[in-house]
Amino acid sequence: MKLIRVDMTNATVTTRDVPEEFTNLGGRALTSLLINAEVPADCDPLGPDNKLIFAPGYFSATPLVNTSRLSVGAKSPLTGGIKESNVGGTVARDLARLGITAVVVEGRPEDGKTFVLKIDENGEASLADAGRIWGSRTYEMVEQIRDQLGPDYSVTGIGPAGEMQLSAASIQTTDFDGRPCRAAGRGGLGAVMGSKGLKALVVHKKGNAPAPLADPEAFKTAAREYARAVRADEFSGEVLPELGSAVLVAPINAAGALPTRNAREGQFEGADHISGETMAQIIRERGGKTTHKGCAQCIINCSNEYVDREGKYVTSSLEYETIWSMGAMIGNDDLDTIARLDFLCDDIGLDTISTGVAVAVAMDAGYKPFGDGRAAIEMLEEVAGGTDFGKVIGNGPVAVGKHFGHPRVPVVKGQSMAAYDPRAIQGMAVTYATSPMGADHTAGWVVDQSLEDFGGTLDRFSAEGQVEASRNTQIHMAAVDSVGICDFAQSGLAAPGGLENVCKMIAAKSGKAFTEADWTDLGTRVLKAERDFNRRAGFTSQDDRLAPMFYEEPLPPHNKVVIISDEEMDKTFDF
Amino acid sequence: MNVSVKLFGTLPRHVPGYDARSGLVVALPEGADVGRLIEQLGIPASRLGMVSVDGKLVKSSHRLQGGERVHVFQRIFGG
């Protein structure tokens, strides 16, 4: 299997076999272990010593469904620690079909040169001058590349925010229909790509050299079983196809955990206007698509196409986190404005979560009133225009807090939280505080376990059991992100015998025995490497804490604060 | 006594004639709890996630007074 190294300093590309110690790894395991081994922890994230690594999940381009997940890793300019951000679309499948295990982008051009990295149908990589593609927004970037190369390439690249090396810059990648609307959003990895002068990674879609399966029949049998479980599950088989992740708006609001107006409240009076049910109704009435395939190998189709009153495409896909960050978090209950802001983030190349929270902090500081959607749109256009204030917004919530001297900045390790207020779900406080990624909901989502009223096992307002729940989920997710199974297809893992089935597939691909204990060891190994990197980058247990507002300000309507003690937080990683 | 009910997610599929815009008004015997309401709606227990009454999550043993707004949700999973 191939590992491609791209030296941006000398504009050279070398392709070698994957070194022995990194074989049988993929996704987050590969990016995090490589970064910990090769990137100096104290380096400038935007300097030549940082490395930007693209790695498809271990299962990408196998017969298993919902596995086109690409992990992108680097030292983060937003957190100063290690980062893995993963994204769907088609690129992970495309790379894996070409037998490519990772692309490692190193160095930095001295003279301001900019490039596009192309990988052709034979898996040959080459750098070309970005020319006038540099400077484009992402939808235009994709169009220009398609004009040059035709439709057979996935495009993974940055917009103006990444070119300006702003800390909330995303890396966007094309969806199943070729639109750059899928984001490796978190951690400012778009800025790292921009610092390397790399506008886009362009990968041929029709490779025919995927990693061989040691036991194809055993793999296919297990994969069929997994797909059956994903289809049979109510959430992944019925709810997500009809409503997408936006279905979460109403229940999380009901739980009093939907951060509203920069997390001053946990319920938004406009939630009905921005719920998944309302969104689906609007899309249906206007002739858009409520059910849409966004990623290769997907059988869930949680994506959608949001259209305007004339039925014209606005954005894909409108999802829970963005509806929150550009909705409740900024006090905006207008879905059309949210959809426009989502499109702008994709087009400019910005993380919708960090950017929405940056706007929320600015509004909280009095710059504009909450609920002013037009002001939010103007702030995003300022980012694209490169104004001084635009750069403040594009650098994320901490930069905005500093700019206004405003202390209410809902972050951990410099990264904003997501759409679950930790004061209303204490387990999320543990995940946000201790994840090596900074406040990241996907690193250990314990919301379902915490809603004990109907079926959960934890009291969400009690500290009891939260550390253990978060630890176990974080270990599990580190392994999930490494094999590259979509978060929403985890129903296949949660089904009876699901984990055993996944272990069978790892063994059937590698040809080596793989047990459930090995699964836990894989997740633990990844977290250990990430924490080791962060420790060497200067992080201490004091960085495993939430922003003061979460400990000090009770959140209506339940009026709770985070009650997990520092001692308990520090027990999360007892290895 | 009557309560007004809104169903979320794909739960409307289980309640024939449910209108998403107006919701439902359900007549219940005095002193009925949330569990009784769910049973009367015909929503299978396996499909139930959580229930809120006037904006706050409650358990199925929560006793209704009449006049409340009841929201019924499915099990959720996410990120």
Q: What is the pLDDT of residues A351-377, one digit of tens each?
A: 999 999 999 999 999 999 999 999 999
Task: Say how far residue A382 (Cα) sits from the centre of its chain.
Answer: 24
Residue of A nearest to B21 (CA): A278
Residue A110 is predicted with a pLDDT of 86
Residue B77 is predicted with a pLDDT of 85
pLDDT at A454 over 60: no
How many A×B Cβ pairs under 8 Å?
Answer: 92
Cross-chain CB nearest to A254 (options B55, B75, B77): B55
CA distance A503 to A509: 10
A275 in contact with B at a CB cutoff of 8 Å?
Answer: yes
Number of domains in chain A: 1
Q: Quick check: A254 and B47 CB within 8 A?
A: no
* A112 lies in some domain: yes
Instruction: Tell me the average pLDDT across A155-164.
Output: 98
Q: What's the 3-state SS for A30-73?
A: HHHHHHHHHCCCCCCCCCCCCCEEEEECCCCCCCCCCCCCEEEE
pLDDT beneath 70, residues of chain B: 79
* A140 lies in some domain: yes
Residue A203 is predicted with a pLDDT of 98
Backbone angles phi, psi at A5, to 5 degrees: -110, 130
- In a mutagenesis test of the B interface, which of A242, A247, A435, A490 is the best target, namely the one with the most B β-carbons within 10 Å? A247
Enclosing domain of residue A70? 2-204
Backbone angles phi, psi at A71, to 5 degrees: -90, 135
* A155 lies in some domain: yes
Average pLDDT across chain A, whole number:
97
Element (H, E) at A507: helix A498-510
SS3 assignment, position A227? helix
Q: Give B15-71 as a DSSP string.
A: STT-BTTTBEEEE--TT-BHHHHHHHHT--GGG--EEEETTEEE-TTPBP-SS-EEE
Side chain identity, residue A3: L
A450 in contact with B at a CB cutoff of 8 Å?
Answer: no
Distance from CA of A314 to the nearest CA of B (A): 23
Q: Which residue has the tokens 């709770």?
A: A560
CA distance A382 to A155: 25
Residue A450 is predicted with a pLDDT of 82
Under the banding of pLDDT at 50, 70 and 90, the label for residue A453 is low
Side chain identity, residue A221: T
Residue A456 is predicted with a pLDDT of 74
Cis peptide before A126 (omega within 30 of 0): no
Q: Quick check: B52 and A557 CB within 8 A?
A: no
Cross-chain CB nearest to A245 (options B73, B74, B78): B78
ipTM: 0.95
Contacting residues of B for A276, CB less than 8 Å apart: 9
Residue of A nearest to B20 (CA): A277
Cross-chain CB nearest to B49 (options A242, A445, A454): A454
Domains of chain B, start order: 2-73 (3.10.20.30)
pLDDT at A452 over 80: no
CA distance A288 to A304: 8
Residue A392 is predicted with a pLDDT of 98
Buried b (16+ CB within 10 A) or exposed e, B4-42: ebbbbbbbbeeeeebeeeebbebeeeeebbbebbbeebe
Residue of A nearest to B73 (CA): A251
Residue of B nearest to A440 (CA): B79
DSSP B12: G
Q: What is the pLDDT of residues A95-129, one digit of tens each?
A: 999 999 999 999 999 889 999 999 999 999 999 99
Instruction: Tell me the average pLDDT across A506-512.
Output: 98
Residue A428 is predicted with a pLDDT of 97
Cross-chain CB nearest to B56 (options A235, A239, A557): A557
- A220 and A63 Cβ atoms separated by less than 8 Å: yes
Element (H, E) at A541: none
Residue A191 is predicted with a pLDDT of 99
Under the banding of pLDDT at 50, 70 and 90, the label for residue A455 is low
Q: Give A74-143 as a DSSP string.
A: EE-TTTSSEEEEEE-SSHHHHHHHTTEEEEEEES--TT---EEEEE-TTS-EEEEE-GGGTT--HHHHHH
Residue A449 is predicted with a pLDDT of 87
A445 in contact with B at a CB cutoff of 8 Å?
Answer: yes
Instruction: Check the CA dihedral A469-A471-A474-A477 and report its sign.
Output: negative
Q: What is the pLDDT of residues A212-261, one digit of tens each?
A: 999 999 999 999 999 999 999 999 999 999 999 999 999 999 999 999 99
Buried b (16+ CB within 10 A) or exposed e, A233-246: bbbbbbbbbbbbbb
Interface of A with B in 297-356 (CB under 8 A): 320
Q: What is the pLDDT of residues A171-199, one digit of tens each?
A: 999 999 999 999 999 999 999 999 999 99
CA distance A430 to A572: 8
* A294 lies in some domain: no
Distance from CA of A238 to the nearest CA of B (A): 7
Q: Quick check: B9 and A451 CB within 8 A?
A: no
Residue A169 is predicted with a pLDDT of 99
Q: Quick check: A445 and B55 CB within 8 A?
A: no
Contacting residues of B for A454, CB less than 8 Å apart: 48-51, 59-60, 75
* A222 lies in some domain: no
- A44 and A50 Cβ atoms separated by less than 8 Å: yes
pLDDT at A323 over 60: yes
* A190 lies in some domain: yes
Residue A129, domain CATH: 3.60.9.10
- In a mutagenesis test of the B interface, which of A186, A235, A238 is the best target, namely the one with the most B β-carbons within 10 Å? A235
What residues in chain B have their Cβ under 8 A from chain A's Cβ atoms?
8-10, 20, 46-52, 55-60, 71, 73-79
Residue B30 is predicted with a pLDDT of 96
Q: Quick check: B8 and A250 CB within 8 A?
A: yes
Share of chain A above pLDDT 90, in %: 97
* A524 lies in some domain: no
Where does residue A538 rank: exposed (0-12), middle (13-18), buried (19+ CB within 10 A)? exposed
Under the banding of pLDDT at 50, 70 and 90, the label for residue A451 is confident
Pairing of strands A415-416, A411-412: antiparallel
Across the beta sheet with A70-75, the strand order is A12-17, A2-7, A100-106, A52-56, A70-75, A82-87
pLDDT at A484 over 90: yes
With a CB cutoff of 8 Å and minimum separation 6, the contacts of A108 are A8, A9, A47, A48, A195, A196, A197
> A555 - beta bridge partners?
A560
CA distance A509 to A504: 9
Q: Quick check: B50 and A453 CB within 8 A?
A: yes
* A539 lies in some domain: no
